[in-house]
Structure formats: C-alpha cells, structure tokens
Amino acid sequence: MKDFLYNKYFQTTLRIILGILFIYASAGKLFNTEDFAKAILRYEFLPIYFVNLMAIIMPWVEFFTGFLLITGIFKKASSLLASISLIAFLIALTSAFARGLDISCGCFSLEETSSKGDIIYRIIEDIFMLAGALVVYKFSNKKKTEEPLPAEVKE
Amino acid sequence: MKILKQILIILVISAVFGLTANAINPKGVKLILEKNIYALDSAKQKKTIDGFVNNPYDTNSKKTSNNMLSGKMNKEGFIEPENISVELAKNLFDRNALFVDARNKEEYDSVHVKGAICLPYVDFKNKSVQDRIDIMKKYNKDGIIVVYCRGDKCEMSIDLAYEIARLGFNSVSIYRGGIKEWKEKGFPTQP
C-alpha cells in the first residue's frame, strides 16, 4: 500500500487532479470579487471587515495552489496549503450546515442555487480532496531507500 | 521551516495578484467592507406605512408614497431590496402588496401566504432577461413587492428580490421570516 502511495505516477495523477480542481474552483472568482464576497457573507462566519479582503485574495491562493500542484513546484508547500484551505472550508461548511444556514456554498461556481443537500455534497467532496492533498503532502517525496546497511566488516 | 517560507511566498504572490486584479477590475470592491451591503436592514425599523393601498396589477398607477422603504438607486441602477420585519410584512399584506414565493412549486402548493404568486428562484434565474420581463410585465413597477421563502436563513428570497429589482421594480422587499414565521404568527395562508 505504501509503495503505491509513493508511486510517482499515482502522485502525479493525484496532484494534477487536485490542481485542476483548485484552478477550476478559482476561475469563476478571480475577477468576480463582489459576488464571491456576497457568498462569503452568507456564511455569517468571518468578521465583516475581512470579507472583502478574503474575497480578493482567496481565489488567487486557490489558483496558485492549483498551478503549483500541477507543475510540481513546491510540492510539499502547495499540498500543505491545499490541505489547510480545505480544512478551513470544511469548518466553514460544517458550521453553516450545523447552524442550518440554507446557502449556496460558493465553492466552485457562484451561480449555484441554495439547497441543504448541496452542502452535504460539498462537505463530502471537501473531505475527499483533503484526503488527496494529505496523501500528496505525506508521500510526495521519493521513498527513502531502505537498503540494508552494509554489514560491518569484521576483521 | 522551508515549507512555511514557501507557503508565505505563495500567499504574498496571491495577495499581490489579488490586490492588483481588484484595483484594475472595473467591478472591484473596497478592501474593507464596512457594512453588509447585500441586504439592508434599514426598513426593518419601520413598522407600518399609513394611508396607502397598493395595487400590484395596475401597471398605470403611480405609487403616491414613493420609496416607502427609502430605497436609493445603487450604482448598478436599481433600487436595492430591503429586509422587512414580520410586522411590516403584515402591514404591507393588509395594503395589498404582491407577495412572491421564491420556493419551488411543491412547497408553494403545500402552503403559501394568501394571494402570493409562485415564482421559484431556481427557474427564474435560468430564464433570459426577456422572459423575466415578460413574466413580470403584468405587475406594477411602482407597486410593493414582498419576496419570501422558507424562513430562517433561506437565501433564495434575497436572490430573487435582487433579480426582480434589477428589472426596474422600485419597492421590492425581502421578508426573511418567511412562511415559517408567517404561519407561527397565524397570518392568512393558502390553501
């Protein structure tokens, strides 16, 4: 199993999938700050002063995280950042769900309709992506060669 | 440590790109949001409007007490909907305001505010602008419209209210208490 997780083709595929998802998620928001700010507002989660700043910067963090995941630059950093963002989204989504907020999540597209079922799907999606990101983070380095140490030469 | 440094680099680059994009974007936003501009709560303070009877279907009538919700034209060129309290919603109901139900057809059929029309947001948002105009043209643009949905934190009433206001309706309000609160108060419902 571990060998499989360390497998470089598996790692590359996983990174590319995650990267595409991140870029796809950011695409609708990069230049649509106002709508994204509204989507964040509906979570009633962040202090209102931070909402716009978050809406300005977050999509670009997503975009660059996705870009780095795909290209394989800063693998550890990008997968860790992806995991941190996904955990943050997970907390926001779960708390919205627990408080019974009937909101559209603003995760991928900003045009989604609101329905409670939607949030559950998003939470599940988020958990899968988080698992993927953590696998990349943990296993992205080549497996250390575990060759047996050369036997001590006894005279 | 190296990883943290790289994360910091990514964040700084993102911030630079984000702030630049926002600065050159004609639809950019202010860095610090001072109040929730999405749904203004000012109308919640008002309890009643006096001496006015609305006729939502009379497209010729000019509303006498214009801007009863003190709405102002925003930079997009429409008057923003405002949140209203249950008292004001009932007051408007008594004055023959047009109630619009943003939920889907089944929910509308099970129970709705007496006399409300069914206009599911999910369908409405997918329609072309021309179709939206056609749907709404039988109603008075100066008439008072109250949009509601399930209640609690249902957001569809806000979205639908904004779409209707964008068509040029001047007195759209959002009753966020929704059908839930309306029923609890024992106000008239159908069927």
Look at A33 and B25 and tell me if their CB atoms are within 8 Å. Answer: yes
The values of phi and psi at residue B139, to 5°, are -110, 150
B15 touches chain A (CB under 8 A): yes
Query: Would you tell me which residues 121-180 of chain B have a C-beta closer than 8 angstroms to some C-beta of chain A?
Result: 121-122, 125, 150, 152-156, 159
pLDDT average, residue stretch B4-20? 95
Q: Is the pLDDT of residue B1 over 90?
A: no
- CATH superfamily of the B35-190 domain: Rhodanese-like domain (3.40.250.10)
Q: What's residue B15's pLDDT?
A: 96
Mutate to test the interface with B, among A102, A110, A134, A140 (most CBs of B within 10 A): A102
| Token reading at B119 | 């206009």
Higher model confidence: residue A35 or residue B16?
B16
**Which pLDDT does position B64 carry in this prediction?**
47
List the pLDDT tens digit at each of the 155 positions of chain A.
Answer: 778 888 889 999 999 999 999 999 999 899 888 888 878 887 878 888 888 999 999 999 999 999 999 999 999 999 999 999 999 999 999 988 888 776 667 777 665 544 556 788 889 999 999 999 999 999 887 655 455 555 555 44
CB contact under 8 A, B21 and A60: yes
**In the numeric block, which tokens belong to residue A106?**
């603003």
Residue B17: pLDDT band by 50, 70, 90 thresholds?
A: very high
Task: Mention every residue, 6+ apart, whose C-beta is less than 8 A from residue B9.
Answer: A74, A77
Q: Summarize the confidence of residues B126-140 as an average pLDDT.
A: 85
SS3 content of chain A, % helix, strand, coil (to 5): 70, 0, 30
Q: Summarize pLDDT for A101-114 with one digit per residue, the tens.
A: 766 677 776 655 44
What is the Cα A142 distance to its own chain's centre? 22
Nearest to B78 by CA among B159, B163, B135: B163
Q: What is the pLDDT of residue A60?
A: 96
At A25 the pLDDT is 92
Q: What residues of B are in contact with residue A34 (Cβ under 8 Å)?
A: 27, 29
Report how far residue B119's alpha carbon sits from residue B129's, in angstroms, rounded to the nearest whole number.
Answer: 15
Residue predicted with more confidence, B41 or A60: A60
Q: B121 contacts in A (CB within 8 Å)?
A: 113
d(CA B41, CA A106): 23
Domain residue ranges in chain B: 1-33, 35-190
Q: What is the pLDDT of residues A62-82, one digit of tens each?
A: 999 999 999 999 999 999 999
* pLDDT tens digits along B42-85: 455 555 555 566 666 666 655 544 445 555 666 677 777 888 88
In 3D space, the residue among A59, A31, A34 whose CA is nearest the CA of residue B29 turns out to be A34
Tell me if residue B146 falls in helix, strand or coil.
Answer: strand
Question: Which pLDDT score is estimated for B66?
Answer: 43
**Domain locations along chain A:** 2-139
Which is nearest to B21 in space by CA: A47, A87, A55, A31?
A31
- B154-186: pLDDT as tens digits: 778 888 888 888 888 888 888 888 888 888 888
Q: Is the peptide bond before A148 cis (omega within 30 degrees of 0)?
A: no
